[in-house]
């Protein structure tokens, strides 16, 4: 059924997002005692370490791999986790990659919102429903700010890190939906079945986060 090699009962499979978070994630996990290092730049997507396999994924795919149990645990932004709607455990806030998800409009815009552009359609739908804003949602995949500037949408819901992009494009945050940061997520069955490895890892990560903040 699966092409995975035979592994010991305590083997851990981790889902990590490629890109900026990967380096922070690997550094934190290795300080927490896992024998993993930053993989050499290569085309490999699956990296084997003693007792640990690291899967390098698009960040939206991390909750999928963990929820469906292919990975035992993973690291992903809270924003991606909420959008995924996946029922996984999220025992540790790792505090890095901080950002927030905001409703953004052009400076001075005050008219009604008919259409909202976003990479986060589920979050957007829930937010707009709670606020009673009967707007249409357009799912976009990048450079979300352009949607307001070009008139594709009256507002966008997007991540804000430093606010630099907003200032450069004459945009402002109208409302903050929630604050996000990287989270350790764990498959519900794996936490119980591999608790001898995962419980100490969780405890060590909590200590590290506390020491470093």
Pick the piece of the chain touching other proteins (CB under 8 A) from 22-30, 53-61, 165-173, 179-187. Answer: 179-187
Distances (CA, A) of 115 to 80, 103, 133: 22, 12, 10
Which residues in 92-111 contact other proteins (CB under 8 A)? 92-93
Pick the piece of the chain touching other proteins (CB under 8 A) from 47-55, 84-92, 137-145, 161-169. Answer: 84-92
Which residues in 37-76 contact other proteins (CB under 8 A)? 67-70, 72
For the bound state, the minimum distance from the C-beta of residue 210 to other proteins, rounded and expressed in Å, comes to: 11
Contact 117, 138 (CB under 8 A): yes
What one-character-per-residue DSSP string does 20-39 give? HHHHHHHHHHHHTT----PP
How far is residue 160's CA from residue 173's CA, in Å, rounded to a whole number? 9
40 versus 196: smaller Cβ distance to other proteins:
196
129 near other proteins, judged by CB under 8 A: no
Pick the piece of the chain touching other proteins (CB under 8 A) from 37-45, 88-96, 133-141, 150-158. Answer: 88-96
Distances (CA, A) of 7 to 3, 48, 50, 166: 12, 11, 10, 48
User: Which of these, 177, 17, 198, lies nearest to 91 by C-alpha position?
Assistant: 198
Binding stretches for other proteins (CB under 8 A): 1, 9, 67-70, 72, 78, 84-93, 181, 183, 186-193, 195, 199, 206
């Amino acid at each position: 059924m699966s092409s995975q090699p035979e592994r010991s009962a305590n083997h851990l499979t981790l889902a990590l997002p490629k890109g900026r978070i990967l380096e922070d994630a690997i550094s934190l996990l290795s300080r927490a005692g896992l024998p993993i290092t930053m993989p050499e730049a290569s085309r490999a997507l699956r990296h084997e370490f003693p007792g640990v396999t690291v899967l390098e994924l698009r960040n939206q795919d991390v909750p999928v791999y963990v929820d469906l149990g292919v990975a035992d645990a993973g690291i992903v932004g809270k924003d991606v986790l909420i959008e995924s709607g996946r029922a996984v455990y999220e025992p540790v806030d790792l505090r890095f990659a901080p950002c927030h998800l905001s409703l953004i409009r052009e400076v001075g815009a005050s008219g009604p919102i008919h259409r909202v552009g976003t990479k986060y359609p589920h979050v957007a739908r829930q937010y707009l429903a709670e606020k009673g804003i009967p707007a249409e949602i357009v799912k976009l995949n990048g450079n979300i700010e352009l949607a307001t500037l070009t008139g594709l949408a009256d507002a966008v819901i997007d991540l804000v890190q430093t606010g630099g992009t907003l200032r450069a494009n004459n945009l402002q945050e109208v409302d903050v939906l929630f604050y996000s940061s990287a989270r350790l997520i764990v498959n519900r069955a794996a936490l119980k079945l591999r608790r001898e490895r995962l419980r100490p890892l969780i405890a060590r990560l909590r200590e590290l986060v506390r020491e470093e903040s």
